[in-house]
Amino acid sequence: MKLVLATRNQGKVRELSELLSPLGYEVVSLNQYPGVPEIIEDGATFKENAVKKATVVARYTGQMALADDSGLEVDYLGGAPGVHSARFAGERHDDRANNEKLLRLLAGVPPERRTARFRCVVAVATPTGQVFTAEGACEGVIADRPRGEGGFGYDPLFYVPAWGKTFAELEPAVKNQISHRGRALALIREILAGLRRGPDTV
């Protein structure tokens, strides 16, 4: 059974594919469906954006679709960048610019006030209109400089005290286990397994 990921972000595709491969789905990205229109993420919450993306992709492709919307919530910034995480420094989706802006805004702020969390909502939509969602979060602290070469987005700045590393320094298997996306997907795996067996088993 095919599962279309509602993203063209290759970092996200790799991460989601690793997490979903044990379920036996053929995981593909939107790169295989160039006709799907640009989806404007204009929701006020991660859930609204995830549901919108999944339902649009399921409708256009005729396949089951999975979308996630995730972002960074920094307590010192009142929860920003939140749903605007990807475009924090502008519309170019520039990871380096986003990280540099975050560091500028937190310049001089002590570690105890740099608490933050990654939050993720995953939505699965079927071509017949069923929608299922799950949420995950991971608590951490914003580092004072980028660390590590792995991951993407804000990973080089998101420090996890329990592991003594940023997301970009963690082994992929560890990150997938503790991350906001990994936790959300763990909750939705049972639903995906049920959908694979048939709609009456969900």
pLDDT per residue, tens digit, the chain (202 aa), is 889 999 888 877 887 787 777 888 888 999 999 889 889 889 999 999 999 999 999 999 999 999 999 999 999 999 999 999 999 999 877 999 999 999 999 999 999 999 999 999 999 999 999 999 999 999 999 999 999 999 899 999 999 999 999 999 999 889 988 999 889 988 888 888 877 766 554 5
Name the pTM for this structure: 0.85
Is the peptide bond between 81 and the residue preceding it cis, with omega within 30 degrees of 0?
Answer: yes
Compute the distance between CA of residue 166 and CA of residue 117 in angstroms, rounded to an integer: 12
State pLDDT tens for residues 59-87. 999 999 999 999 999 999 999 999 999 99
What residue spans of 21-76 are helical by DSSP H? 46-61
Strand order in the sheet with 2-5: 26-29, 2-5, 64-74, 115-125, 131-142, 158-160, 165-166
Active-site positions read: 69
Residue 1's SS3 state is: coil
Domains and CATH numbers, the chain: 2-201 (3.90.950.10)
